[in-house]
Structure 1
Amino acid sequence: MTTTTITVADMVRRYADDIAFVAEESPAVDLDSLVDQLGAAAGQYETAGITGHEDIAAAAVLLAEAGRAEDPAARDLLLKRADVLCWEIEDMTSEYRTMVGG
């Protein structure tokens, strides 16, 4: 069985545009910016009543931990867990766009 490695660059590439729209900022280009924007977006999703905002907040915590992890295996695990929690960002953002007219 092969395992897929998730990198910080993968996380930024996959989620930065959608999260930036919700956070009302320019797309993140690094982990710290993505973590900050995920936290802001989680609050926006919650305010809009969009299900899944808790997962986005939890993903921000995991990504922050990944950024501090010295052990590569621990970092990989944290990134994978965060990626799983972010799987609905595209749908959540689509719902958010509909609500705010964007």
Structure 2
Amino acid sequence: MTTTAPVTTETILARYADDIAFVAEEQPATTLTAFAEQLVSATERLGEVGINGAEELEVAARYLADADSATTDNERNVLLNRAAKNLTDVDDMVSEFRDMV
């Protein structure tokens, strides 16, 4: 049986902050709120150049903003997991973006 590490703010930032910051043309985010804001910027930039799936980043940003204000650990965990599912294609999108610029 395979187990996966829990999704946390730290794991999301460690995994995606550098790539999203590159697209957003900012320094890597260190907070969930800042990262969610960068995701919105990245959504716009990726969408402008026609990269498929960019809208998933905006959905993730909404989940992260909600997770940041969650009142229970369970609620926060659910929202972080939903956001993580919407971020699964970040590597491909950013790679495609890097090839364009």
Residue by residue over 1:32-69, the C-alpha shift from the partner in whole angstroms, topping out at 9 and shown as x without a partner, is: 11011001000011001000111100000000000000
Residue by residue over 1:45-98, the C-alpha shift from the partner in whole angstroms, topping out at 9 and shown as x without a partner, is: 100100011110000000000000011101001000100100110110000000
* TM-score (normalised: structure 2): 0.94
Q: Report the Cα distance in structure 2 between the residues aligned to 1:95 and 1:4, rounded to whole angstroms.
A: 28
Partner of 1:46: 47
| Partner amino acid, structure 2, of 1:64 | A
Q: Report the Cα distance in structure 1 between the residues aligned to 2:14 and 2:34, rounded to whole angstroms.
A: 13
Aligned-residue offset at 1:4? 3.8
* TM-score (normalised: structure 1): 0.93
Q: Which runs of 5+ in 2 are unaligned?
A: none
The number of aligned residues is 100
Q: CA RMSD in A?
A: 1.2
Note if 1:93 corresponds to 2:94: yes
Instruction: After the TM superposition, list the runs of 4 or more consecutive aligned residues in structure 1 that deviate by more than 4 angstroms.
Output: none
Q: Which runs of 5+ in 1 are unaligned?
A: none
- Identical columns (%): 44
SS of residue paired to 1:49 = coil
